Amino acid sequence: MKDLQHLYYFETLLQEANNDLVRQAQSEGGIAIGYTCYHMPEVLLNLGKCFSVRLRAPRTGSMELATYYMSNATCEYARALLERGLEGGYRFLDAMAGVDGCECMNRSMENMEVLQTNDPDKKSFFWCNMEVPTSDNEDCVKQVAEQISRKVLKPLHENYGIDISDSEIRRAVDEHNEVCRLITEIGNFRKRENPNITGYEFHILTLTSYACPKYLILDKLRETLEELKTREPDKKKNYRIKVVLIGSEIDDPELVSLIEDSGALVVADRFCYGSFPGRQEILLNDQENALIQVCRQYLESTLCVRHCAQHKVQKRLDFAAQLKNEFHADGIIYEQIKFCTYWSYERALASHVMQNEYKIPTLSIDRPYLSRTSGQLRTRVQAFVESIEIKKIKARNAQEVK
């Protein structure tokens, strides 16, 4: 296929956390708020002149310092962020909005604060760490709203003079929803029999919407959508099967590239930093406080494995099967970063249930934070592709015999 016009530009933006657009927004008076997790409502970090930056550690090398403070038996994502923080890679931030998502992320955020990885010259800088409930009932909604008000909105108003009114929250939701609509429309091209966008390209676009000020990428997202409406796919399919990729944090597009180079086109992305559920619109009514509605929708829509109530577990399984059918995939790949406590349980359970109860071919893998050079992963994906192809051949032969 012909290269997307803005793909190289988006790829360049993802090479560092403090990218060109972040610097441009700050030069225009913007306030950069770092965060790491879906449980910190992204839209509430984009009030007034604030903009959210979901933290990544691209091109990570050694993690020796972070390992010293956290041990080598902890999540590499959390260690990579700490390592980048110790290197000074996040000193551009004006605040850090963390969440009590897991013990590894707690340790990472705690060490960043204690070791003073922020810029000491930024006198208005503040740290916060929000507790995350494990379900989504109304008591949980009230808990999240109270913490957001006290730990995020109040410091933004007091330290930076940010308007935190109901009307400003609704304005931020409108901007957020425009990005979500564009990403969703672009993603829907993957439902075609022969998609005209790859999983790698889509992941680049989605990641950019997390890592950059949204108002500075809207025009290029709109142009990309228009470009895809007339983009012709390769006449000969350059993949062998289609898969849904589900799992823990993926901010490394090279993992998706590795999977697709092995013959499996990623047509749906249900993982942290993906479009499900991170790029679904937030719907507000006029009768209820906007903050409460935002917190409720984040809690109800989250597919995080931290939520262990039975109805949330079942929702994740059903949603995985729904994506497989809606995007016409042949199978599902469940992945986790090594040493991830929550996903080590979910991956083992879900991959078994999907295979044996939903009858969906499923591959289960664990991986390092950066996977681009993993020959073992490549081999396992290739074997999964071949197994599905063999099943298709057997099913076709059985049908012909009938």
Q: Where are the domains of the chain?
A: 13-134, 169-401
pLDDT band at 396 (very low <50, low <70, confident <90, very high): confident
Q: Nearest CA to 265 among 208, 204, 217, 329?
A: 329
- Using the structure block, give the residue that is written with the tokens 């503040």: 126
- Using the structure block, give the residue that is written with the tokens 């991956």: 347
The CATH number of the domain covering residues in 169-401: 3.40.50.11900
Alpha-carbon span 224 to 5, nearest angstrom: 7
pTM of the predicted structure, to 2 decimals? 0.96
pLDDT band at 397 (very low <50, low <70, confident <90, very high): confident
Does the structure show a pLDDT above 80 at 400?
A: no
Which residues have C-beta within 8 Å of that of residue 86, sequence separation ≥ 6? 65, 66, 115, 117
Q: Tell me the percentage of the chain whose pLDDT exceeds 90.
A: 90
Residues 65-122 pLDDT 10s: 999 999 999 999 999 999 999 999 999 999 999 998 899 999 999 999 999 999 999 9
Residues 329-378 pLDDT 10s: 999 999 999 899 899 999 999 999 999 999 999 999 999 998 876 788 99
Q: Nearest CA to 38 among 272, 249, 279?
A: 272
Alpha-carbon span 243 to 254, nearest angstrom: 16
CB 38 within 8 A of CB 278: yes
Helix 199-211 vs helix 166-188: crossing angle, to nearest 10 = 170
For domain 13-134, give the fold: Rossmann fold (3.40.50)
Does the structure show a pLDDT above 80 at 246?
A: yes
Alpha-carbon span 289 to 141, nearest angstrom: 12
Alpha-carbon span 187 to 206, nearest angstrom: 9
Q: Where does residue 218 rank: exposed (0-12), middle (13-18), buried (19+ CB within 10 A)?
A: middle
Q: Dump strand ranges (E) for 37-174.
A: 50-54, 95-100, 126-131
pLDDT of 402 reads: 67
CB 274 within 8 A of CB 206: yes
Which residues have C-beta within 8 Å of that of residue 189, sequence separation ≥ 6? 195, 196, 197, 228
Does the structure show a pLDDT above 80 at 235?
A: yes
Structure tokens at 386: 């071949």
Asked if the domains at 13-134 and 169-401 fall in one CATH topology, the answer is: yes
